[in-house]
Amino acid sequence: CPKSEEYPRGHEVIDDIAIYRYKIPLNAEGVLSYFVEFAYAWVATALLSVRVLFREGFDVIQACNPPDTFFLLGALYKLVGKKFVFDHHDLSPEMFLAKYEKKNKLLYKALLLLEKLTMRTARIVIATNESYKKMAIMRGKKNPDDVFVVRTGPDLKRLTPRAPQPALKQGFKHLVCYLGEMCPQDGIEYLLQSAYYLTHSLGRQDVLFVLMGGGPAMPRFKQMSEEMGLQENVKFTGRISDDLVCDYLSTADVCVDPDPYSEWADHSTMNKVLEYMTFARPIVTFDLQETRNSAQQAAVYVKPNDIEIFAREIVTLLDDPERRRAMGAFGQRRIRNELAWNHTRQNLVAAYDRLFRPGYKYQYKEV
């Protein structure tokens, strides 16, 4: 996997798991760099896989995406008896359309082809939700018995609610939090526009917005915030420790997911939503299919990309503490009883049972 600011070491062992990382020289921001990033990731991973084969040994390659190019590696290792599992994290063709303003039909079709070849090479496909499972069956022509939904449920040992920390509000009455990577497709500009409308048009100067996380687009969004005159009401923390994330989410009055509508967003599960629910926080989000499937009654759903209604719904929740508590409690129960990792990991075990016992069938509960 690639190195990051949080995990800069090329090799380490965590919980008896050997981890090998490579350095990513750039974040793709155009079509050419998109190709370069894909090719570089494949070569770096292939070289590391040979090293792992001789140092550690392995029986299975479980490859997530993007990029959707590791089927070539899987096909090569299948020749020597290794098995290939596709861990389908993102709809790469739809993500490409969401990420870049200039559409390139040829590249989009190429991404569709890579996805199909990956599905065809994989013995088992792990999907993050029911929408992705349908894609694997319909677009990837997979046997439904070979596709397993394994949601990335929160780890309740790592994300632990605690007492609110009023000092984090910095003197403001209300705290609104965002958690996650800040990439071009993540809708941070919609959140900033909503924050501007809330503070200037609605006159709510009693609200602090805290945006937690890094990402290639964070500097641009931070500059946008300053140009909009939001320095007093919007704070960018950058990447912070899990402890501080827990403090902020335990203190927040409302959490937000500003992902705008796109085919990619509509079919994807946003981990931030599940993390908000873990901390019993009410959520304001644009109305996306898989977000609604995850949060259900824990969120208020706004017409996609309407920043004024988004801001008004934040204010409505801030002024209704009883409703906030009820929504938060519903979300937290749903995490603890259905969506936490200790529940969803059972499907991962079932996928590997299927991998090593081809006749094995497992009936899992859709959540």
Each residue's pLDDT expressed in tens, for the chain with a length of 367 residues: 888 777 889 999 988 899 999 987 766 566 666 677 778 888 999 999 999 999 999 999 999 988 888 999 999 999 999 999 999 999 999 988 887 766 678 888 999 999 999 999 999 999 999 999 999 999 999 999 999 999 988 989 889 999 999 999 999 999 999 999 898 889 999 999 999 999 999 999 999 999 999 988 999 999 999 999 999 999 999 999 999 999 999 999 999 999 999 999 999 999 999 999 999 999 999 999 999 999 999 999 999 999 999 999 999 999 999 999 999 999 999 999 999 998 989 999 999 999 998 776 665 555 5
d(CA 69, CA 206): 49
227 and 346 share a domain?
no
186 and 149 share a domain?
no
Instruction: Establish if 367 belongs to a structural domain.
Output: no
Instruction: Establish if 301 belongs to a structural domain.
Output: yes
346 and 332 share a domain?
no
195 and 298 share a domain?
yes
Instruction: Establish if 161 belongs to a structural domain.
Output: no
pLDDT computed for residue 272 by the predictor: 97
pLDDT computed for residue 363 by the predictor: 59
Beta strands per DSSP E along 35-96: 60-64, 83-88
Cα distance between the two ends of the chain = 29
Instruction: Establish if 222 belongs to a structural domain.
Output: yes
Instruction: Establish if 103 belongs to a structural domain.
Output: yes
Q: Report how many domains make up the chain.
A: 2
188 and 311 share a domain?
yes
287 and 238 share a domain?
yes
Q: Which two tokens stand for residue 189?
A: 């500009």
115 and 127 share a domain?
yes
220 and 149 share a domain?
no
84 and 178 share a domain?
no
Residue 178's domain spans which residues?
166-338
* CATH code of residue 27: 3.40.50.2000
Angstrom CA distances, 201 to 45, 169, 303, stand at 50, 22, 19
Instruction: Establish if 2 belongs to a structural domain.
Output: no
Give alpha helix (H) positions in 213-340: 218-227, 242-251, 263-267, 271-278, 289-295, 307-318, 321-334
pLDDT computed for residue 107 by the predictor: 85
Instruction: Establish if 115 belongs to a structural domain.
Output: yes
92 and 54 share a domain?
yes
pLDDT computed for residue 358 by the predictor: 72
307 and 350 share a domain?
no
129 and 105 share a domain?
yes
Instruction: Establish if 364 belongs to a structural domain.
Output: no
